Structure 1
Amino acid sequence: MADKIRISAETRTEFGKGSSRRARRANLIPGVIYGHGDDPRHVLLPGHETSLAVRNPNALITLDIEGDTQMVVPKDIQRDPLKPFIVHMDLLAVRKGEKIVVDVPVEVIGEPAVGFEHMLDQPTVPVEADALNLPEHVDIDITDLEENALPDALILPEGAELALSDMESPIVSVYEPQEQDVEEDTEAEEAEEPAEEGAEVSAAEEGEDDSE
């Protein structure tokens, strides 16, 4: 289930590129909290603690903002394309007993039937769950399967529901690998080569005729 982490934050009062650069130099991450129809709340988060916390993308974080507490979950994390740091975060304010929808990683259990292989088509699925009890992942068991595993095969924790609109697309594709006859391909390539050489000879002969 989702981690419960407490982090001290401060109110952000300066904005713009210059203030963002100063925040990064101070190892702070600009963030904005929204939800419940309230005005967005701008904060600065400690870089190291926050980066560790959001290794779980659905971590439940209790922010202590200058004495005022607010529970949040990460909603959007913007990372620098070149350097290993977070540029900005959007945080969703949550309350006890509230259900929210989050994308949860899928973990495959087992192996398909002998002679079959599998491929994970949907690495995450949207799940609606209690904000204080968000799953870190959901499992799907493909043991001895000879056909695709659909969303109804997902193993959800108690109180969680799928928020998928398409229940027919496979979560995991299960298939028999197609064998390729290497000898036939080689013979076909060899058969094509003389034709190409013949074509080159014909072109050369035509060139000689033209010169005469």
Structure 2
Amino acid sequence: MSDVNVLEAVVRTEFGKGAARRTRRAGNVPAVLYGHQSDPQHLAVNAQEFAAILRAHGTNAVLNLVIDGTPQLALTKSVVVHPIRRYIEHADLLIVKRGEKVTADVNIVVTGDAAAGTLVTQEATTVSIEAEALNIPESIEVSVEGAEEGTQITAADLSLPKGVELAVDPETLIVNVITAPVVEDPEADTTETSEAAEGDDAAEADAESAE
């Protein structure tokens, strides 16, 4: 087994919210390993080591788990992060085998600058792809350099690495280039408002004089 992304794991025998909290207090992340028609395994992995792997390889990281001494290849399928304190609350891991193809959501990174006077809207931040478990790209780049108004980039237009295939409708809209909205000068509005107010004040003064 490769020594890349090796992560020690122990089998959890306690379940429920209370057990999960105790696992996290001990510096671990509660995780569930499933797939290949096997019974789900409830595990605990070191929180700092797991977080370091995710930072280095993204949320589709392939893990070389060592479960109580037994090696097992797994894909990080989903990660739940606390919305405020930002620690990892839970992870779902999927059993994989070398050479096996899996489906994963990969981040889309937009690069370049579109033509002047346009606005680039990213309609999708991820795209679902199918690839071998050990060859899932961390991200897929799409360039909008010089793109004119009306340019639309769909999933079919993405440049995918060798061995990677789309797992979504090819017509899925990824990027849309539109005309940039005109921003009105707020100072002009303020001036017009002030002038209107001064006019109202003058009219009121004339009315009072007439009375």
Q: TM-score, normalised by structure 2?
A: 0.81
The Cα offsets for residues 41-65 of structure 1, whole Å up to 9 and x where unpaired, read as 1111111101111231011101001
The counterpart of 1:161, out of the listed 152, 162, 165, is 165
Structure 1 runs, 4 residues or longer, greater than 6 Å off: none
Residue 176 of structure 2 is aligned with which of 161, 173, 176?
Answer: 173
Equivalent-residue separation in structure 2 for 1:67 and 1:181 (angstroms): 66
Q: Percent identity between the aligned chains? A: 37
Q: Distance in 1 between matches of 2:172 and 2:69?
A: 47
Match of 1:207 in 2: none
2:23 is the counterpart of 1:26: no
Can you list the C-alpha shifts for 1:112-163, whole angstroms capped at 9, x where unaligned?
2233231222111111111011100111122221112222221110000111
2:93 is matched with which residue: 91, 94, 109? 91
- Matches of 1:69 and 1:181, distance apart in 2: 62
Q: Please, which of 150, 155, 180 is the counterpart of residue 154 of structure 2?
A: 150
Tell whether the 8 Å contact from 1:4 to 1:60 is kept in structure 2 after alignment: no
Aligned length: 200
- Structure 2: 5+ residue stretches without partners: 205-211
Secondary structure at the aligned position of 1:149 is classed as strand
Opposite residue 61 of structure 1, the aligned amino acid is L
SS at structure 1 position matched to 2:45: strand
Supply the RMSD in Å over aligned alpha carbons: 3.1
Gaps of 5+ in 1: 202-212
- Equivalent positions of 1:1-212 (< 5 A) are 4-55=4-55, 56-146=58-148, 147-165=151-169, 167-180=170-183, 182=185, 186=189
Q: Distance in 1 between matches of 2:184 and 2:65?
A: 61
Output the CA distance in 1 between the equivalents of 2:88 and 2:75. Answer: 16
The TM-score with structure 1 as length reference comes to: 0.81
Specify whether residues 181 and 26 from structure 1 end up closer, same or farther in structure 2 by C-alpha distance, changes over 3 A only: closer
Measured in 1, the distance between the counterparts of 2:20 and 2:183 equals 56
